[in-house]
Amino acid sequence: MRLNLQSDYALRMLMHLASTPTRLVTIAEVADRFRISHNHLMKVAYLLGREGLIQTVRGRSGGLRLVGSPANIGIGHVVRRMEGDIHIVECFAAEPGGCMISSACRLKGVMHEALGAFLSVLDRYTLADLVANPKLRALLNNEAA
């Protein structure tokens, strides 16, 4: 299973914001820190803001900040919101009758169970768990570890 870039970037952005709780962080700062596309991050920031996970402050002194505590942001929730409909195999998204073997195939059920297990593990963790390591905080804040 592979998450889309939107999920990856959202988690990285949230980790950066969680490690920098006392100030606003710009999209350019996150893009530079992780060496990823500014344009992609703008879309991710918009989606995270729409989900109520971050606040975006416009203007010259603007930036991004978390809304609420990192302990209240579940990783499974973030992945579900960023991924949308998660289709591990083609038949997850297929129209009824779209697959010629669907009436006898167990693949969809097995993959659905595997996806549930994957998301169940992510549901056990919060953003606070991801940024608990002081060395990570130092790396994200460009400090000596």
> What does the pLDDT profile of the chain (145 residues) look like in tens digits?
778 899 999 999 999 999 998 899 999 999 999 999 999 999 999 999 999 999 999 888 899 999 999 999 999 999 999 998 777 766 666 566 567 787 788 888 898 899 999 999 999 999 999 999 888 888 888 765 4
Residue type, 103: S
CB neighbour list of residue 86: distance below 8 Å, 6 or more residues apart: 80, 92, 115
Query: Given its phi and psi angles, is residue 144 left (phi above 0), alpha (psi -120 to 50 degrees) or beta?
Result: beta
Task: Provide the pLDDT for residue 98.
Answer: 67
CATH of the domain spanning 5-140, picked from 1.10.10.10, 3.10.310.30, 3.90.1150.10, 3.20.20.80: 1.10.10.10
Element at 67 (helix H, strand E): none
Domain ranges of the chain: 5-140
Q: What is the pTM of this model?
A: 0.86
How far apart CA 9 and CA 137 sit, in angstroms, is 17
d(CA 145, CA 104): 56
Rounded to the nearest 5 percent, the helix, strand and coil shares of the chain are 55, 10, 40
pLDDT score for 143: 63
User: Which residue bears the tokens 């990783």?
Assistant: 75
Instruction: Encode pLDDT of 74-108 as tens digits.
Output: 999 999 999 987 777 666 665 665 677 877 888 88
